Amino acid sequence: MFKHFLPNEHVQSIHDIDPEDLIRKGIKGIITDLDNTLVAWDEPDATEEIVNWFRLMNHHGIQVTIASNNNENRVKLFSEPLNTSFIHSARKPLSRAFKRARKEMKIQKNEIVVVGDQLMTDVLGGNVAGLYTILVVPIVETDGFWTRFNRRIERRILSWMKRKGKITWEEGNGQ
């Protein structure tokens, strides 16, 4: 069961995801979380760095879909200026949103990577859907109510994985 919580990769930030590395792996699409993955959970707009990251992915022909458990207004207001597709109220870790994103991008499972800051939603959901997963360190240490609850469980899972030698990175920024 714990294998579903184990990401394929771990990076400090979304900016550490290199489009040329993705292309070498055959990746054509990214399904990314929004809050604490792209920007702080209470930040309404994309930073200039995030705008540039989206441009970089687009320049390399990599499609990006934002899949967030947040409400339509939050996700739409963030996504539309970036001219990127989005799925709100995704109910991650359920696989419905991942399947929908894959269908809308018109690419195969092995051509998609899921990026997010939570084991309980992004990594678990991506893994159960059969997709490649990348865990990023959360942007800020503060979280909404449900995420704080999830983080407590995640710390226990990460601790167990570390003791068993399943992960080798150091947790940081609240992980």
Q: How do residues 101-152 score in pLDDT, each as one tens digit?
A: 999 999 999 999 999 999 989 999 999 999 999 999 988 776 566 666 676 7
Which amino acid type is present at position 72? E
Q: Is the pTM of this model over 0.75?
A: yes
User: Rounded distance, CA 70 to CA 73, Å?
Assistant: 8
- Locate 31 and state its tokens: 């399904």
Which amino acid type is present at position 9? E
Q: What is the CATH number of domain 2-163?
A: 3.40.50.1000
Angle CA(69)–CA(148)–CA(34) in degrees, nearest 5?
35
User: Rounded distance, CA 77 to CA 51, Å?
Assistant: 14
Domain boundaries, the chain: 2-163
